Structure 1
Amino acid sequence: MENTYFYLYSWSTLVIIIILFIKFSKKNKRSRLPPSPPSLPLIGHLHLLKEPIHRTLQSLSNKHGKVLLLNCGSRTILLVSSPSAAEECFTKNDIVFANRPHTLAGKHFHYDHSTVASASYGDHWRNLRRVMTLELFSSSRLAAYSTVRQDEIRLLVNQIKQSCEQGTRKIDLKSKFTELSFNVMTMILVGKRFYGDNVEDFGEALRIREVIRAAIHLCGAANMGDFLPFVNSMDILGVEKKMVGLMAKMDKFLQDLIEERRRVLSENSGTERESKKLVIDSLLGLQETDPGFFTDEVIKGTTM
């Protein structure tokens, strides 16, 4: 009896999939869409995307045309390999292509797609962009941050000099420059550095470096659930569980930074606050004028 139900369920599922595939194929044929390679049910063209991906896309473009439609699971992707077509997409019709796809990483690492890097085009995104352009990274503000960049470069040069004075040794400049860039950003954002010898709290720095390293790895890896939603619903690979755990640590770290800066700002005078103004300080100031928009989540998402 159980086997009968199992077979009925399996055949019913298969029939539904075939019907949906045929219906989707007919809909595509009726629509005025760009050319598309032959696809498979459910996964579409995912099986064609092989490493190195840029070579694969070039090969598909050479074979099927400069403007190509790819159905990758539940995602529809427009592959453009022509300068004129790219100009058409990003200059004349940029608003049409302005939205960003919702992904699992955007849901968990970008506060449910509410950051400027992952939010879809709309009032929320425009407000964030306006704040970043006029308040946080204006020409005058960037000029004020020049001393931070100079100080961090000076620290790196001194660190390399001290290493050389101890004898001939190999120095990985790539990692040093990565650490320099990260320290410049965090000093401008929150007034702390997390790499090198001049770290205030090595335990805190080590923890956040591990979280960031793991988060970058998860965001950089291809997540099949972004193309096949049923994979996410069952969390077969455990990706969502890892993201939730990492984001809980990251969120606590960012919230602690906000509370710490609130205490510092409340203790300092107005002149001292302006002379040492960080990005997070500007955001907290904006929160006082518009608490409805500049919530703690928006501040944390902007400083990420």
Structure 2
Amino acid sequence: MSFNLQVFILYSFPLLVALFILKSYFYSLKPHKNLPPSPPKLPLIGNLHQLRSGAHRILQSMAQTYGPLMLLHFSTVPVIVASSVDAAREIMKTHDIIFSNRPFLNIPDRITYGSKDIAFAQYGEYWREVKSISVLHLLSNKRVQSYQQVREDEVAHMIRKIQGVNEAVVNLSEFLVLLTNNVICRVALGRTYKVKNMLDKIKKLSGRSIGSFIPSLVWVDRFRGLHREADELAKEIDEFYEDVIEEHVNKKEFGVEGQDLIDILLEIQKDNSTGFRLERYMIKAIMVDILGAGTDTTSTTLEWAICELLRNPSAMKELQQEARKIGQGRSMIPEDDIDKMPYLKAVLKEALRLHAPIPLLVPRESTKDAKVLGYDIPSGTQVLINAWAIARDPSIWEEPEEFKPERFLNNSIDYKGFHFELIPFGAGRRGCPGVRFAMTINELALANLVYKFEFALPGEESLDMTESDGVTIHKKFPILVIPTPCE
């Protein structure tokens, strides 16, 4: 047997060598993937060390070296970063279906009932059902218009509160957060709730997970206590929404009147005519999105818009003149007159251009191989779209670092996902469904703030424009101003 084995090896060796040579030859003929340019990476962590605070700025700088579509590695996870209009258009329009999935993110998954919300749900039948519910029943134009009185009441309440400080220094940022929180609570939950602490915890946890990017290091999140924090927060969220839903189920007993978003979801659950069963935990997951994202990004946009107006007195004066012309001495500018204020809309577009609330948007993931800008993008690749960098691209925007609302007065570019030069809310199937809801609040609030007050910075202080860390980019320090009522 031993002799036969030796003979077999002796006669087989040339054949094995030939097969190896043939395999190498045919492999060399095989077309290799044309991957996007990629910066050098470190063992284990890949390029994660390069993403410090201000990742959108770092990635913009890297794109100047490696191009509008570059490939990074978060450990073993390939991530492409799109930093041009053409790259964004191919991802969110040409290949929108392929890039409509969400990667699994450990911490968001824990606080959204296993990613059963709208923002983080996997692309598929479930996501299509809840997206349809949000678009047709919760955030349609008709539904948004139906809450006009709520918005006007809360803006008027904010104005009275500011008037009551008697021209002392006020933290305007707090007023803006309270306004958006109150509007969204009343629209979504039926009345105002004190949820700032809960929302702050969500913001604090967002983006801190290493395990979401490096699955092999998920134990680090556990060691740092993030899993425990997320689970405790999930329990707090669940108990809060459970109480709110029970209050709605027994609303006659509690004396709650009017139909809010939870009422609508409970009606859909009861109807069940489509064959899709909307479970209670799904309602809670949808509410996590609406309350959390709605309050956070809406107040952030208002905050940055007011900062830019304070830094640019000529733009502030132009907007105040428009507001006074429309207001005509009335106690406030009603929502019905906002469409007569083109400069107001231009100011908010310019604020969104310079300060996209989520500068890298929510990550996407490819479900099939695709070609983008001629490069091969393998299935399972994560995608970051640098909306912040695109909005400051000098090949598109004249003086891109300057606040110039006039650029939008005779310009059809809008933020609703059809013009890829300006995509603060994303685009395509995974674009934010709450754009109209958020911007209606922003327009009404900003119009009335500049209509009712002159704002001055206290003392000789200049306005600090430092950005905060996190997924949503806030102003790091609050806006402190002295409001003087206009005569």
- Same fold flag (TM > 0.5): yes
Pick closer, same or farther for the CA change 1:293–1:140 going to 2, 3 Å.
same
Distance 1:192 1:223, change over 3 A: same
Which of 200, 216, 241 is residue 213 of structure 1 equivalent to? 200
**Equivalent pair of 1:68/1:78 in contact (CA under 8 Å):** yes
- 1:293 corresponding residue in structure 2: 277
C-alpha displacement at 1:280, in angstroms?
0.3
- 8 Å Cα contact 1:36-1:70 kept in structure 2: yes
Alpha-carbon displacement from aligned partner over 1:245-278 (angstroms, at most 9, x marks no partner)? 111011101011001100015888xxx96xx111
Aligned partners of 1:51, 1:232: CA distance in 2, in Å?
21
Contact in 1 for aligned 2:247/2:254 (Cα 8 Å): no
Instruction: Identify, as 1 or 2, the structure richer in helix.
Output: 1
Output the CA distance in 1 between the equivalents of 2:253 and 2:128.
30
- Give the Cα–Cα distance (whole angstroms) in 1 for the partners of residues 104 and 223 of structure 2: 19
Q: 1:284 — aligned with what?
A: 266
> 1:230 maps to which residue?
216
Aligned partner of 1:173 in structure 2 is 172
* Mapped pair 1:250 → 2:252: no
Question: Which of 47, 64, 68 is residue 62 of structure 1 equivalent to?
Answer: 64
Secondary structure, counterpart of 1:70 in structure 2: strand
State the partner residue of 2:183. Answer: 184
Cα distance in structure 1, aligned partners of 2:49 and 2:184: 39
Which residue identity lines up with residue 57 of structure 1 in the other structure?
L
Q: Separation in 1 of the partners of 2:63 and 2:204?
A: 29
Unpaired stretches in structure 2, ≥5 consecutive residues: 1-26, 289-487
> What letter matches 1:284 in structure 2?
L
Q: Which moved more, 1:67-76 or 1:294-303?
A: 67-76
Larger CA deviation: 105-114 vs 239-248: 105-114
Residue matched to 2:112 = 110
- Displacement of 1:150: 0.9
Q: Distance in 2 between matches of 1:141 and 1:292?
A: 22
Distance 1:193 1:94 in 2: 38
The answer (yes or no) to whether the contact 1:69–1:76 under 8 Å persists in 2 is yes
| Separation of aligned partners in 2, 1:96 and 1:157 | 47
SS state at 1:226 partner: coil
State the shift of 1:110 in Å: 1.1
Aligned to 1:17: none
Paired with 2:161 and 2:61, the residues of 1 have a C-alpha distance of: 47
Partner Cα distance (1:119, 1:237) in 2:
26
Q: Are the counterparts in 2 of residues 232 and 240 from structure 1 also a CA contact under 8 Å?
A: no
Give identity over the alignment, percent.
29
Query: In structure 2, what is the Cα distance between the partners aligned to 1:192 and 1:266?
Result: 16
The alignment's TM-score, normalised by the length of structure 1, stands at: 0.78
The question of whether the paired residues in 2 share the 8 Å contact of 1:45 and 1:71 is answered with yes
Specify the code of the residue in structure 2 equivalent to 1:289.
D
Larger deviation, residues 93-102 vs 259-268: 259-268
Q: Give the conservation status (yes or no) of the 8 Å contact 2:190–2:259.
A: no
Q: Distance in 2 between matches of 1:267 and 1:215?
A: 29
Instruction: Give me the whole-angstrom Cα distance separating, in 1, the residues matched to 2:249 and 2:180.
Output: 26
| Equivalent position to 2:122, from 120, 123, 127 | 120
Tell me if the contact between 1:251 and 1:300 (Cα under 8 Å) persists in the aligned partners: yes
CA 1:267 to 1:248, structure 2 compared with 1: closer, same or farther past 3 Å? closer
Q: Please give the root-mean-square deviation of Cα atoms over the aligned residues, in Å.
A: 2.2
The 1:253–1:51 alpha-carbon spacing in structure 2 relative to 1, beyond 3 Å, is closer
Amino acid at match of 1:295: E
Paired residues for 1:138-149 under 5 Å: 138-149=140-151
Change in 2 beyond 3 A, CA 1:209/1:54: closer
- Give the Cα separation in 2 of the matches to 1:211 and 1:76: 33
Secondary structure in 2 aligned to 1:152? helix
SS of residue paired to 1:185: helix
1:75-120 per-position Cα deviation (integer Å, ceiling 9, x unaligned): 2211112221221111111111111111122211111111101112
Counterpart Cα distance in 2 of 1:177 and 1:243: 27
Q: Distance in 1 between matches of 2:287 and 2:56?
A: 31
Amino acid paired to 1:125: W
Structure 1 unmatched ranges of 5 or more:
1-25, 195-204
Offset, 1:48: 2.2
Deviation at 1:173, TM superposition (A): 1.2
The CA distance in 1 between the partners of 2:87 and 2:162, in whole Å, is 48
Opposite residue 228 of structure 1, the aligned amino acid is: I
Tell me how far apart the structure 1 counterparts of residues 223 and 176 of structure 2 sit (CA, whole Å).
37
